[in-house]
Structure 1
Amino acid sequence: MHSPSEDHMCVVMRILRYLKVTPGKGLMFCKYGHTDVEGYTNADWAVVSRSSAEAEYHGMAQGVCELLWLRRFLRDLGFGPQKPMNLYCDNKAAIAIAHNPVQHDRTKHVEVDRYFVKEKLDAEIISFPFISSEYQLTDVLMKAVSTMVFLNSLDKLGMCDIFAPI
């Protein structure tokens, strides 16, 4: 915002074109009778780190913060999650770091997140199931994907067209 460029304007125009041709797209929230909270985490190389595992681990810690906020919000509304919240990650090394404190000795740059994530994991507030990259829903928000992957991700995210015939 402080120094817009021609590239930024191109991205804005692309977003506006997408919004123009998809006026009926939106999220449909359905009542399923549960208050399970799940999240997806993925990191890009914008995070300063020595390895992709460190970047993913930092992303996991940030995801835990966001899920904890949602958990508190739901509790304030009277709907507290009854089981650990799943934070799906497609990096097995980052999941191993979260579960095994010995692994932390190899990653000196995640020291700040180390105790925070381990505390929530030990308290069974959070869990980190592995998800393969093909099912990673955050990719559609972070990188260029094929049209097929994009449309598939919209379905998985619960996007629907309110003008489509039922």
Structure 2
Amino acid sequence: MLYLNLCNILSKSIVTLRAVRYLKGALGQGIFLHADSELSLQGWCDSDWAIYPITRRFLIGWIVFLGKLPISWKTKKWHIVSRSSTKAEYHSMASVTCELKWLKALLLSLSVHHPKAIPLFSYSYSTLYIARNPTNHECTKHIEVDCHFIRDAIQEGLISPSYVSTANQLVDVFTKALGKKQFDYCLSKFGVYDLHTPT
């Protein structure tokens, strides 16, 4: 038990040190919101199943774009162990669907209409299949509430889930340890710039 606690403390301190180093080297980075940005929403979701080697908990992440710029994002470690990667992906999809529903209502209160279904990108074929197929739920009772919530959102025309390849999955930056090339690719897609550089 003492060994596990020491490993936990050591891994947290290494992660903290890396985060501080990154922040020190990126003091001028930020997201510049353009006045002429499109007012259309799109969501991306992902999860990393059994990511933690000691507890085997899973991690979900999602991001919402307004036009080409991110306006809302979240990463959350779940305090339960899932025996299914599809369950982890479905939790992620349900969470971003809630956020998209709220943002659509917020935009409507600001007189910005969003008549089309909001694109929602996921790389999990099984999650997309269950979301689109209302009869295939005999093995999914553990995620039944999320299933009905997402199917209702699809039938209402709120979201339109579609597949995105792992190489183009932007939410990986929140759920996985990426190499520098993939990390920089995600930052460029998020519209992150060094705000101190002259234009």
TM over 0.5: yes
Counterpart position of 1:73 = 106
| 15-24 vs 46-55, greater mean Cα deviation | 46-55
Q: Percent identity?
A: 35
**What's the C-alpha RMSD, in Å, of the aligned pairs?**
1.9
- Residue equivalent to 1:110: 143
Distance of 1:120 and 1:87 partners within structure 2 = 11
**Residue 94 (structure 1) aligned with residue 121 (structure 2):** no
Whether 2:69 is the aligned partner of 1:36: answer no
Partner of 2:163 in structure 1? 130
Separation (CA, whole Å) in 1 of partners of 2:90 and 2:119: 15
Unaligned runs of 5+ in 2: 50-57, 59-77
TM, length-normalised to structure 1: 0.89
Please report how far the alpha carbon of residue 33 of structure 1 lies from its aligned counterpart in structure 2 after TM superposition: 5.3
Paired residue secondary structure (1:103): coil
Instruction: Say which structure is richer in strand.
Output: 2
Contact 1:36 1:83 in 2 (8 A): no
CA distance in 2, matches of 1:67, 1:11: 31
TM-score by length of 2: 0.75
Q: Name the counterpart of 1:83.
A: 116
Matched, 1:57 2:90: yes
Structure 1 residue runs of 5 or longer lacking an equivalent are none
| Residue deviations 1:132-162 (CA, integer Å, cap 9, x gap) | 0111001011111110000111001111112
Mean CA deviation greater in 12-21 or 47-56 = 47-56
